[in-house]
Amino acid sequence: AQTVTQSQPEMSVQEAETVTLSCTYDTSESDYYLFWYKQPPSRQMILVIRQEAYKQQNATENRFSVNFQKAAKSFSLKISDSQLGDAAMYFCAHTGTASKLTFGTGTRLQVTL
């Protein structure tokens, strides 16, 4: 069975600083994808970044980047130059050939001035 674990229920970062959100996962599949989704208080979930397991290069999207450690089954999200609009729930998610997207429990990110 697939599991996704986010061990940080809440994180706080000052505006313009950098923060890293942690995620570990467990899977028996060799072909899978990992995602970070953001859910702002208005609740619509949006994709932040996507990583294919077969790619060794870490994905990057503007201020968002991941540290993908396949052997350790770790997939952390780094947000650089944090902005007030980054405040949201962040969910790590995994999907494999079973057509099932499994989410973690989420990390609530607060951005302070």
Partner 1 sequence: DAGVTQSPTHLIKTRGQHVTLRCSPISGHKSVSWYQQVLGQGPQFIFQYYEKEERGRGNFPDRFSARQFPNYSSELNVNALLLGDSALYLCASSLYGWEYEQYFGPGTRLTVT
Give me the least distance between CB of 87 and partner 1, in Å please: 17
Site membership for partner 1, residue 98 (CB under 8 A): yes
Cα–Cα distance for residue pair 10/71, rounded to 1 Å: 26
Long-range contacts of 48-57 (CB under 8 A, 24+ apart): 48/77, 48/90, 49/77, 51/75
Site membership for partner 1, residue 62 (CB under 8 A): no
Binding mask 20-59 for partner 1 (x = CB under 8 A): -------------x-x-x----xxxxxx--x-x-------
Site membership for partner 1, residue 102 (CB under 8 A): yes
> In this structure, are residues 21 and 77 in contact, taking their beta carbons and an 8 Å threshold?
yes
Cα–Cα distance for residue pair 2/58, rounded to 1 Å: 22
Binding footprint of partner 1 on the chain (CB under 8 A): 4, 33, 35, 37, 42-47, 50, 52, 91, 93, 95-106
